[in-house]
Amino acid sequence: MTIPDAIAELSLLLGQGLSCSKSDLDIHGRSESYFDTIPPDAVVYPTSTTQVSEIVQVCAKHNCPVIGFGTGTSLEGQTAATSGGVTMDFSKMAAVLEVSPEDMTVRVQPGCTREDLNTHLRDTGLFFPVDPGANASIGGMAATRASGTTAVRYGTMRANVMALELVMADGRIIRTGTAAPKSSAGYDLTGLIVGSEGTLGLMTELTLRLQGQPEAVSAAVCAFPDMAAAVKTVTETIQIGLPIARIEFLDSASIECVNAYAGMDLPATPHLMVEFHGSENGVSEQIEMFREISSDNNGLGFEWATEAEDRNRLWKARHNAYFAIVASRPGSRAIVTDLCVPISRFAEAVEETRRDIDASGISGPMLGHVGDGNIHAILLLDENNADEMKHAKALASRMAERALRFGGTITGEHGIGLGKMPYMSAEHGDGVLVMAAIKKALDPQNILNPGKMVTTN
């Protein structure tokens, strides 16, 4: 029972649907983040649920690891083949299977990307709201419990995946959830699989909740003298129940990068960028209320836009912020951190992190999804400078510790993968033993993405 035996048998089963070419292996072992390339022994491209089940059965027979793969945009090394084995690339299972306009749901295959789905939905009056930035696959987004700029209004993948078809570690095909909007029938297996990073089962079909395209969209950007003023504005906005669709912060270092990159001249102070979705009257009223709240909290300037063109200009700063930050240190590699804290501790967490980054001498602008308490610092490094890498990793480690000290979590939306494994016990205590017990119960051979998320020995 070896990996080569599994590959030999899979090759007979799949023919052209299996690849061992070096370029293919490298592409699938590569990471968007700072991890080394850790390629699998083969890549398989299933075309149906039945084939996924057959592949998993072969792998189970030979004790061969199976790693699910969408578009490879994960940030914590989730798809690294640390024990070798087979990467299952879902790019040939990327169909939009069925839109149900009345139910505002859609069934998709896991390889379908977020942008392809929304293009497909364009004429239906509906859209899928979760937006992590990258054009990730829906399966990958579900596997990492992704979220992004719109989670403050529409929730994370946890709230937007209603039902799944899954292949379990023994090849068994099951369905979780139904097309009904809610259920109290048994353990929430859908919720257990969402965020499990391919360690408990492989998703072969997802039923997603959709939203109606809003009649009107309005956006605004506002500068603040400090983070505390910006955060107070956010808290008050949420408390009075304003249905913000997005509320993003950029710290002054990020704003400086954006100004340089896009030739803008925003004041070099913390900014909030917001978007409202609703009726024409609704969004006007919401923007006005938000303007008042930000003004009461010493907001320094306020720009708003309802026309698509103006809105796009306003949001350009946010959308390009990552590239603007990376461009601010040519040739650098970025480590993107991902702490998430209660909103009441947000300003403090940002300020403490700012001081910590500044003391390290590393460049690290910060931005994030303030409505969710989610902070990203983008640490810019020369990866050949071992000293910088060491300092950056120590910074990232202190950020995880800080998130926990402030009552938060070591990752808001990027997941565990390899990068956050060292902090799981600190966050969950004996909860990691409960997770390991579940993993052992559902994947006793430890073949599904082994070495990620939980330690079973």
Regarding 274 and contact with its own copies (CB under 8 A), the answer is no
What part of residues 40-69 is at the interface with its own copies (CB under 8 A)? none
Binding residues for its own copies, rule CB under 8 A, total 97
Regarding 432 and contact with its own copies (CB under 8 A), the answer is yes
- Residue in 62, 420, 449, 450 binding its own copies, rule: CB under 8 A: 420
255: part of which helix (H) or strand (E)? helix 252-262
Stretch that binds its own copies, among 34-42, 191-199, 304-312, 324-332 (CB under 8 A): 191-199
Regarding 211 and contact with its own copies (CB under 8 A), the answer is yes
Query: For residues 73-97, b (16+ Cβ closer than 10 Å) or e, as one string?
Result: bbbbbbbbbbbbbbbbbbbebbebe
- Residue in 13, 27, 96, 104 binding its own copies, rule: CB under 8 A: 104
- Residue in 274, 424, 447, 448 binding its own copies, rule: CB under 8 A: 424
Stretch that binds its own copies, among 5-13, 115-123, 320-328, 339-347 (CB under 8 A): 339-347
- Residue in 118, 235, 360, 445 binding its own copies, rule: CB under 8 A: 235
Nearer to its own copies, 87 or 176 (CB): 176
Regarding 98 and contact with its own copies (CB under 8 A), the answer is no
Stretch that binds its own copies, among 42-50, 256-264, 315-323, 370-378 (CB under 8 A): 370-378
Residue 339 structure tokens? 């702490």
C-alpha distances out from residue 126 to 106, 129, 212, 215, 335, Å: 10, 9, 4, 11, 35
- Residue in 65, 412, 419, 451 binding its own copies, rule: CB under 8 A: 412
Regarding 103 and contact with its own copies (CB under 8 A), the answer is yes
Regarding 191 and contact with its own copies (CB under 8 A), the answer is yes
Q: Report helix angle 3-14 to 49-61, nearest 10.
A: 150
221: part of which helix (H) or strand (E)? strand 216-223
Q: How far apart are CA 12 and CA 58, in angstroms?
A: 11
- Least distance from C-beta 8 to its own copies, angstroms? 29
Angle at 231 between CA 228 and CA 234, to 5 degrees: 155
Q: H/E/C letters for each residue in 277-339? A: EECHHHHHHHHHHHHHHHHHCCCCEEEEECCHHHHHHHHHHHHCHHHHHHHCCCCCEEEECCE
Residue 93 structure tokens? 């299972």
- Residue in 408, 419, 450, 451 binding its own copies, rule: CB under 8 A: 408
Regarding 244 and contact with its own copies (CB under 8 A), the answer is no
Regarding 144 and contact with its own copies (CB under 8 A), the answer is yes
What's the burial of 314, exposed, middle or buried (CB within 10 Å: 0-12/13-18/19+)? middle
- Residue in 70, 110, 195, 270 binding its own copies, rule: CB under 8 A: 195
- Least distance from C-beta 153 to its own copies, angstroms? 11
Regarding 427 and contact with its own copies (CB under 8 A), the answer is yes
Backbone dihedral angles phi then psi of residue 256, each to the nearest 5 degrees = -60, -40
C-alpha distances out from residue 193 to 109, 150, 246, 322, 420, Å: 16, 22, 26, 30, 19
3-state secondary structure of 456: coil
Regarding 125 and contact with its own copies (CB under 8 A), the answer is yes
- Residue in 19, 196, 269, 332 binding its own copies, rule: CB under 8 A: 196
- Least distance from C-beta 362 to its own copies, angstroms? 24
114: part of which helix (H) or strand (E)? helix 114-121
Regarding 344 and contact with its own copies (CB under 8 A), the answer is yes
Angle at 24 between CA 168 and CA 41, to 5 degrees: 55
- Least distance from C-beta 257 to its own copies, angstroms? 26
